[in-house]
Structure formats: C-alpha cells, structure tokens
Structure 1
Amino acid sequence: MKVAGFILSFLLLPLLLWANQYVYYLNPKDKKAYRIDLIKKEIARLDSNSNWVYYHSLLADSSYHPDLMKTGEFTIIQKKNTNRLHIFQECTNQIYVVDLTSFQLKRQDETYYRGDNCSSYRFFRGDLVYSIGGYGFWRTNNHLIYFDKKTKEWEAVNSYGESPEGIYHGFVSFIPEKDVLVTFSNYHTDVNHEYGKLKLDNSIYQFSFFTKSWKKLGEVTHPEISKILEEYSYEDRQYLFFTGKYFVFESPNNTNGIHKYYFINPRTLEVFSYDDLELKYSRIDLRSIQVTNTTVFKNGPWVLTVLQNQNTNSSNSFILINFDDLAKNARFIGFLNDLPWYKTDWFYGLILFSLVALLLIFTKNLKLSKGKKEPRYTALQESKLELENSSLLLLKSIMDSQQSGGMAIEEVNRILEIDNLAFDTQRYRRSAIINQINQTLTLLTGEKNTIVRINSEDDRRQKRYKINSNCLEILRKKLKD
C-alpha cells in the first residue's frame, strides 16, 4: 500500500510543480476577463462576483506538448479581426495558439531551449509574428526576429544603421501604415560591462522594414517627460502599455488620489496629459497590470479592473476604461523631443541672426572709415599759403559757402573779376585759375583737387564749387594762421 502511494505521489508530482499555467486576457468584444489553463486545456470566465467559472474546454491533439517554466509568465496578442490568440511564454518565446471559434489549442513552435527574450516586444506584421529586444543570458539585446512557419523556429532579421544598444523595459511600437518600428527610453546592460549596471538610453530610434535600417531620431528632451522617465524605477516600467495608438503611463508621484496619466503618440511624438481631478479613476492603479495579475486585464486600449474593496451601495464590481477615448480629453503639452527655450533651433537662429547683423554693421563701418581718408600731413604743410590775392580770396569765399551748398559760377567769376568777359573766355580763365590753385595746394593737402566742382542741389544742370572734405581741416588751420 505504501509503495502504491509513493508511485501515485511520484506520478502527481509533475502536476504540482507547475508554478503558473494560467494565461489571462480581456475579450475586446464582450469586455470580460478570461483565463486559459494550458494544462487542463480549458477556459474560465470571471463572473460578477469575481469568481472564475468554467466557460469552455479546449481541444488539443497528441502533438500538443506544453513545456512550461515554474516561474513562467505569458504575453498574449490577438491579431485584429480574428478569433485567434497567440500566447508567448516569456524568456522562451514558445508560442501557443488558441482558436476561440473552434476552441482548438496548439503549440506552434518547436523551441527546445531557453532564449534571450524576457520582456521582449511582440507584434504582428502581416501574417508574421515578430519579436524585438528583451533580456536573457545575463544581458539585454536589440535583436529583431520573426517566427518562420515552415521551420517553426525563430529567425533573425539583418539590419543596418544606428540601433539602440538594448531594447528592454522601454517604449516600443510597430506602426503598420508606415511599416516602421519606433522605440525610445530603453534600458541596456551586460554582465561584462560596468559590473552589469543597468543604463537608461533616452534616445529615440526608428527601424524601417523597407530599408532594413535603423535611424536615430533624437532624444527625449521634453522637460516634464524626461524627468519622469529618469525617476521611473526599473520595476515600474514593466507596467507601461501601448494601446495601439498611445503609450500610456502614470506619474509616479500621484497625490491625494488624483491620477495623472500621460499619453505619447509614437506616430507624431505628441505628448498629452490628463488629470483625474474628479477622482473617477482613483481606484485604478496601472502599476497593477502584470501578466500574472488576476485583478487587472488589458487588451489594446481597454483596461478592466476588478474592484477589491467594493462600495456596498454599488453593484458594480468592475471599472472598464478605454484609454484611447480618455486621451481625447487630455491636454496637449508638447512634443517628446521638445527642447528648453535656450536649446531650441529658433533661439540658435536668433543668435546666428544677431551675429550676422553685427558683422554686417562692423563691415559697413569699416568700409566707411576706409573711404573717409585722413588728411595726409607732410613737412610742406608747415609752410604758408603762397597764393595770389584773388586766388586766396576765392579759396576763403568757397570755404565760407561750404555749408550752404558751395559757390555758384557767377560768384566765382565776380571774385576773379572775369564776369565782363565772353562766356568761353570766362570758362577758360576760371578753369585755369582753379587748376593752378589745386596744383599749388597738392603738396599741402595731399589731394589732387582741393577745389571740386559738383552739381547744384536745386538744379543739377547748374554747377557749384566746394572744398574737398578731406582738405577742410588743414585749410581751416592755414587760413586761421
């Protein structure tokens, strides 16, 4: 009898070793929570009294061979517009598929080893399932892999460009209409580097499936978001989730029961915030969302919370939220890569514009100073003016008329006493005398023409005589002497 009991205990022992055989999911159609038992091959549904009740059995053929870890955790994704659930065991990427129409249960892969994809991000791209990043073998990774239906194994995707060092406990999303991946604020670590220290990389990256290349888009520089992400503990980051449209996370410093939710649109990098001032969601904690949790369930934008301390005056034991709808009431607070004002492009542009303007002003003043020649003094400038009385009188008279626009031709003729001569004779004598004066003053002033002829300001057809501005200072000094 004792031997039979021992044999029975030995046979039952493997069943007692299953630490976790349940997979939880939220049905997007009826908005109810379900639990899949991968060992018993059955589905249970959570009733209004928060009890799991039998819902349906699952059919599996002889090839079904679950290989569940004692500490196994599961991630579940449902392809849009289908009734097929794809269940991934964390750290192994084993794939179990449940068809909710035929209630068939199958294991899709033939993986026989433990992988490096704990907490990786999985998504559908067309009919193929992809996985990126994760942790395993004492380091994080940035590997992009896909499940090959023919070989029933995971295969790697080769790529180019500047990729993140690791993709782990960060933000990752696939944008199907652009056929790109967007990821930012990831951790990376390697046991061989800095004693395995976790490092946060707040860079923003994009991977294009068309070019098979990575590109760095910038940094998370929005002052408020950057501070929150740096303060977020490593453990808290496992509760971040993606609705398919927004990344959603809470401020770690909620006070007085007022929740503050942040929404980030990876398509546009827009950031929104929502303050639950009316305390509608005070009994919800996004940080309770876990793959093994039996009180919080999510699927896409929907989050269902089972109330632990129900209000005796209310028959409602659940709270259901569509976070995409909640985001419509959120306030836009900027872009993920916004910079402080003193680091923005417009500020640098203003500085550049100011420098260019100062340079132009300096260049203009330099040209003006070069154009305005300083009087060239010589030893002969110490001598007296050697001019005839009529020439000296003319020079003084022109200087006196300098401020009034110069001296008219008629006045010059009168001072030279040639006003009674014929017109051609006047012009000849006047020109000869002025040329003689200019030649005499060349050594004194350093200018070829001390007396210059200009157009009249009143009538440009008329001419007037003025003193070259470069000669005024020396002439005033000599005439004064």
Structure 2
Amino acid sequence: MKKPLILVLFFSFFSYSQEGIIDYLLVEKDSSSFYTFTKEGVYFSSFDENNKLNYSFNSYTKPPPKTFKDVPTNTFSAINLNGVVYLLYPGGGMLYQYSQGAIERIDESFPHRNQFAGFFFAYNDELYLLGGYGYWASKNFLTKFNFDSRSWEFLSISGETPKGGINQGSFIQGKNSIYVFDFFSTQPESLVDKKNDFLYELNLSKFLWIKKGRLSSASPAISIEEAMLSVRVKYGNSLFERAENTSAFRIVDPLRNCVKIYSSENELSKLSKNSIFIGSKIVYASQSADNSTFKITFAEINSYPLISTQKHVLDSQDVFLKYIVFSSLFLAFLIIFLFAFFKNRDTLYSLSELSLFNEKGLIILTKEESQILQLFADSIIVENNSILEVFSDESKSFDAIIKRKNKAIKELNHRFNKVFKKDLIFKNPDKFDSRQIVYSLGSKTRILKDLTNPSSRV
C-alpha cells in the first residue's frame, strides 16, 4: 500500500511543469519559496539545499471572480501580508485576496484607473497605494484601504510633496519610510512628463514628505518610455534595476546612499518586469522561442562582477566641503591675480592744459611744465634737447636755459611728490650714448592727454 501512495505524491509534486505558462504573476511567499499565480491555479515553488527549484500546482478551490479573469494576471500588484496574498487591480480600486486556495474579491469599490504604476505596499498591517498615473496626469497622493468599509480613502500628507506627481518611479520601503526616486512628473503647463532629479522620503509615522537631495547616480532610463521597459525589483532593502538594451544592472540602496553597478553582458536580457527575489536569486519568466509562452527560471545575482560603486545622492556635507575648498582656492587665486594686476599695472595721470590729475589728486602746472609733460605723453623717454627747446630764449645764455629747465623739473617733482608721494621725472644717461642724458617718467607711470581739452588734440 505504501508504493502507490508514494507514486501519487510524486506525481502530485512533479507532474506540472512551470513551462508553457501563458499568463502569470510571481509573488514572494517567504525567504525560500514563491507563488506563481495563473488563471487556473497557483504553483508553489521552493529552492532546496542544492538550489534546485521544486514546484507543485494547486487548482483554485473555486473559480476566481470574472473581474479577475478578465485582466492579464501579470498586470496585478501583489503583497504577501501575514500569509495572505492581496492582489490589486491595475490602476487601483478593486482588491482581491488569495486565502485557503481561492481568490476572492474583498472590496466594494470599482476600477479607479487613477494610479497605474503606483506603489502598492503594506505598513502596520494596512494596505496603501502611492502615486501613479491616470487620466492624463501623474499623481502624488496616498490612498489606504479601509477593511471595515471595504473601500479606499485619501490620506492627508504634508511637507515637500513632489510637484507634478510620481509616475514610473522607483520605490524602496524602509522601516517607517518610503523612498522615491527616478520618477517622472507631469508638467501642468504642457502635460509633458519630465524626470525628477531628487530623492524623496515619505515618513509614514508622520505622513510627511522630505526632499532628501539631488541624485548623483540616476537611472539610465532617461525617458518615460525607457522607464516603462526597465526591470525594477525589490532586493532586500535595495532595488535591482536593469534598463532596456543595457549590459549592466544596478543595485540601489538609498539607506546607505550607495549604487553598485554590475556587468551582466546579455545574460539577463530576458528578464521580465514581473520578477522577484528569493534570497540572492532573481526569479523571472523567460519567454519561449515562439514568444507565446513562458518558463519560470532564475539567476544567482551574486555571480556577476562588480563594475563600480557610486553615491546615490550628493552628500550635502561633501558638497559643502567641496564648495568651501573650491571657493577658498578661487578667492586665493583672485587675490593673487588682483595683487599682481594692481602691482604691475601702470598708474595713469590725465594731462589737461594747466593741470595733471587722477583719482588721488591734482597739481596745477605752469605753461612750461605742461609743455614738458606733453612730451612725456607722447613718449616715456624724452631727450634732453627736446626739453631744452621748451625753454629756448635767444636773449638768454645756454647755461641760463639749462638752469631754468633743471629748476622747473625740480619744482614739478616736488609738487608732484607732495600730492602723489613719489617723483615724476628722472634723469638718466642715454644707453646709446653715455655722454648724453635723457629724462624718463617713474616706473609704471603713464601720462594721458585729456582729449576733452581742445589744446591737447592734434
């Protein structure tokens, strides 16, 4: 009698293959097993100690509701709460539970169609739906299912609410918070979906939005169409993400502000959006060659090589320190540059008909002094003979002319030094003929003719 019983049990466990599945939904059961929901029943799958995937199949004990059967199974969102699997209708509203071998509808609502791609989660034994898209706009509100009234209700949230809603976002649930990032918001003026570059935290104990910081390592899915095709799966307290047509995947951990990027080449190219993690194994449905059915398979995520590690969000303290360092370097460079500039630039003086001046002061000139400075306005080095011509007088001896010149330059230097604290004109030997002398202006000193003075124009 034992052999037939063993054969019956053996047949019950292995007679159903997880190949050729047409419509399915993968749901985590516990740390080593999972459900595969279909229209006809449920596969119970688990990994043994040798990492072999074993499975059995149970038909539903009674037919599921028609509203459940009319919608593709993989479009439902699912949560395993206290051993009961809750299945949410796409877009929100109708809610089902799988318990005691049957799927039953438990709400008195209707298809909301207002929160497609929203985040369905459980907190303190309550069911919530956050964000999503519907009726041509992204949503940022939070709804909760009331088990007493069997309906959904809106919750009031304060804080820095993401403007424009949350569509096709990435979500991570912490102990008392939901972290939201890499999502798209609807721009009210154009109804265009634009990617949001910030990480947000929804504190569930206070129902408070907190804007955490700008993303440093954003998703490679830059358009909403690419985001819809990407695979994003909860992986412990992190998020697994693989964008379409990429040879790498990311493990995003907002709690540790860390993003790890791994190379997968093309080995995970057949991942489905409805994938789950059981431990470190990603379980998914691989499409058959004829693209009409699926086969449940898995991959060990730890077998792929790490490429790089990046920060998820720009650390405010790091940014501040970098800003201080950069600002200090810039300020030091600016001070050195300005010091060198002002130290080496020429000091300018404007020459009018009978005065010499700049922003620091002014001196009155005699006619001869003005004529001398006119020569220096044309050249910073003037020959002795050119200055002597200013004092040329046929009734005077040459020695008298020289004395008048020397006295004029001496008095001009004296008055100039009194106002500007330095000498103006210096006498030097001519470098081409040491027997001759020349006059030059002081170092970094220039005289400009005042063009407003008619007498200084050519």
Check whether TM > 0.5. Answer: yes
Distance in 1, matches of 2:57 and 2:219, equals: 46
CA deviations 1:1-33 (Å, max 9, x no partner) are xxxxxxxxxxxxxxxxxxx99644354455455
SS in 1 for 2:310: strand
The sequence identity of aligned pairs, in percent, is: 14
The residue type equivalent to 2:331 in the other structure is L
Equivalence for 1:293 = none
Distance in 2, matches of 1:52 and 1:152, equals: 34
Distance in 2, matches of 1:304 and 1:276, equals: 15
**1:55, distance to aligned residue in structure 2 (A):** 2.1
Unaligned stretches of 5+ residues in structure 2: 1-21, 48-52, 290-294, 348-359, 366-412, 416-420, 429-458
SS in 2 for 1:87: strand
From the superposition, tell whether residues 377 and 166 of structure 1 become closer, same or farther in structure 2 (CA, over 3 Å): closer
Equivalence for 2:36 = 34
SS in 2 for 1:288: coil
The residue type equivalent to 2:170 in the other structure is F
Equivalence for 1:90 = 90
Distance in 1, matches of 2:242 and 2:257, equals: 17
CA deviations 1:391-422 (Å, max 9, x no partner) are xxxxxxxxxxxxxxxxxxxxxxxxxxxxxxxx
SS in 2 for 1:267: helix
From the superposition, tell whether residues 334 and 47 of structure 1 become closer, same or farther in structure 2 (CA, over 3 Å): closer
Counterpart selection for 2:308 from 324, 332, 344: 332
From the superposition, tell whether residues 112 and 203 of structure 1 become closer, same or farther in structure 2 (CA, over 3 Å): same
User: Residues 63-462 of structure 1: matches in 2 within 5 Å?
Assistant: 67-68=67-68, 70-72=70-72, 73-79=75-81, 82-99=82-99, 102-103=100-101, 105-160=103-158, 161-176=160-175, 179-189=176-186, 193-194=189-190, 196-222=191-217, 225=218, 228-230=221-223, 233-237=226-230, 239-254=231-246, 259-276=247-264, 282=267, 284-285=268-269, 287-290=271-274, 302-305=281-284, 319-323=297-301, 325=302, 330-337=306-313, 346=322, 349-356=325-332, 358-359=334-335
**1:115, distance to aligned residue in structure 2 (A):** 3.8
The residue type equivalent to 2:58 in the other structure is Y
Distance in 2, matches of 1:54 and 1:247, equals: 30
SS in 2 for 1:68: helix
SS in 1 for 2:298: strand
Distance in 2, matches of 1:361 and 1:208, equals: 50
Task: Give the number of aligned pairs.
Answer: 344
Distance in 2, matches of 1:111 and 1:246, equals: 33
From the superposition, tell whether residues 154 and 299 of structure 1 become closer, same or farther in structure 2 (CA, over 3 Å): farther
Distance in 2, matches of 1:332 and 1:344, equals: 24
Distance in 1, matches of 2:196 and 2:32, equals: 40
Contact 1:118 1:136 in 2 (8 A): yes
Contact 1:274 1:331 in 2 (8 A): yes
SS in 1 for 2:331: helix
Distance in 2, matches of 1:205 and 1:164, equals: 11
Distance in 2, matches of 1:46 and 1:272, equals: 29
The residue type equivalent to 1:55 in the other structure is N
TM-score normalised per structure 2: 0.57
The residue type equivalent to 1:130 in the other structure is Y
Distance in 1, matches of 2:38 and 2:320, equals: 52
SS in 1 for 2:222: helix
Distance in 2, matches of 1:123 and 1:360, equals: 59
Distance in 2, matches of 1:74 and 1:269, equals: 31
Distance in 1, matches of 2:244 and 2:320, equals: 28
Contact 2:131 2:141 in 1 (8 A): yes
User: Greater Rg, structure 1 or structure 2?
Assistant: 1
TM-score normalised per structure 1: 0.55
Contact 1:28 1:302 in 2 (8 A): no
Structure having the larger proportion of residues in strand:
2
Distance in 1, matches of 2:66 and 2:32, equals: 29
SS in 2 for 1:353: helix
Contact 1:164 1:205 in 2 (8 A): no
Unaligned stretches of 5+ residues in structure 1: 1-19, 291-295, 311-316, 380-443, 447-469
Equivalence for 2:436 = none
**1:45, distance to aligned residue in structure 2 (A):** 5.0
From the superposition, tell whether residues 253 and 184 of structure 1 become closer, same or farther in structure 2 (CA, over 3 Å): same
Distance in 2, matches of 1:215 and 1:26, equals: 30
